[in-house]
Amino acid sequence: MTVDDTGSGADTNGATPGGDPHPLAVRLEALILGAERRYTPFQAARTAGVSMELATRFWRAMGFADVGQAKAFTEADVLALRRLAGLVEAGLLSEAMAVQVARSTGQTTARLAEWQIDSFLEGLTEPPEPGMSRTEVTYPIIELLLPELEEFLVYVWRRQLSASAGRVVQAADDEEMVDRRLAVGFADLVGFTRLTRRMEEEELGELVEAFETTAADLVAANGGRLIKTLGDEVLYAADDAGVAAEIALRLIETMANDETMPELRVGIAFGTVTTRMGDVFGTTVNLASRLTSIAPRDAVLVDSAFAEELIRTTEAPASEAEAAEAAATAEKEGEEPPTYRFALQPMWQRPVRGLGVVEPWLLTRRSGGPA
């Protein structure tokens, strides 16, 4: 099936320029889908017991193009329709939510499939012997990989679902399950537009991939969640301000130690965030983006709410004077002085487009604090 609104996917019938299906494309489709085409859209909807209108909404949400009355659907497509419609009939999902499930799944897996074909099979299908075409080795390679990749996909999905469900049940109340207080961070490569004019496409692609991979690894390893990557920019979130701060500083430090990487700047804001389909929205997200755009090179700017949260959780002192006073008091009483991981330096207040006047703070590691 072709992807319609996600902008990716293979030709509906693997047609050659002359309009006839490519024989290998037909064989690959049967292998991957596990069945041959049997139903027109109307027949698939009727067999599933779903109205044509609802079936079309589901298919478009999943990213499938309109195929007229061609036979394009299999038994698996009919079963998927039955399952989605059944969830609605049982009252487990509203119709709108079922469409959202279809759309989020379609968009996520479309991107995954494109990446796997572009990055994975490009290398794996290089002819192993002189005289063999890539076409000749594609089918057996996919035949070997398909069951392994399928099982791995389900494993990772279950892991992610478990983590996400755990976060939901720990929410303070029902409203917090949708509108939650989170730390949101943007990391942006400095001068990326100039780089696109100077570098070869392959070099640029390698740089972006290295940046995204490094950022994703650091975010995950330190307890954050990668929301999305935008080439030269990464958006991440964390429930804890200290986690978000650690990620930001590690990103700066890691990139600064890599001579092939441009400089980086990071902006973080803390506050109420609306989550939808794995993405985050709201004023907090917009503020983090604006802070990134005004941050100095190789530096982290945070908003006042984020600074207050670090101070509240004793991750950072309100000022060095307060830290010195707390240390002197502890010494006088024979106690261990408080240790802080981060330092905060207030910057000049400035107007930010669409958000009024904000008071950014420069976030750094505090010398002598725990690593």
Model confidence pLDDT, tens digit, residues 130-150: 666 666 777 888 888 889 999
Q: How far from 190 is each of 142, 246, 254, 256, CA to CA, in Å?
A: 40, 20, 15, 12
What tokens appear for 47 in the block?
């067999």
pLDDT tens readout for residues 326-369 = 888 877 887 888 889 999 999 988 877 778 888 899 999 987 55
Residue 73 has a pLDDT of 93
In one-letter notation, the amino acid at residue 170 is Q
Q: Tell me the average pLDDT across 203-217.
A: 85
Backbone phi, then psi, for 203, in 5-degree steps? -65, -45
**DSSP secondary structure letters along 329-346:** HHHHTT-PPP--SEEEEE
Q: What CA–CA distance (Å, rounded) separates 262 from 195?
A: 9
Kindly report, residue by residue over 178-207, the tens digit of the pLDDT.
Answer: 567 899 999 999 887 777 777 777 777 788
Q: What is the pLDDT of residues 224-277, one digit of tens each?
A: 999 988 878 999 999 999 999 999 999 999 998 888 888 899 999 999 998 877
Provide the whole-model pTM: 0.67
223 — alpha (psi -120 to 50), left (phi > 0) or beta?
Answer: left
pLDDT of residue 286: 93
- The pLDDT mean for the chain works out to 83
Q: Which tops the pLDDT comparison, 315 or 11?
A: 315
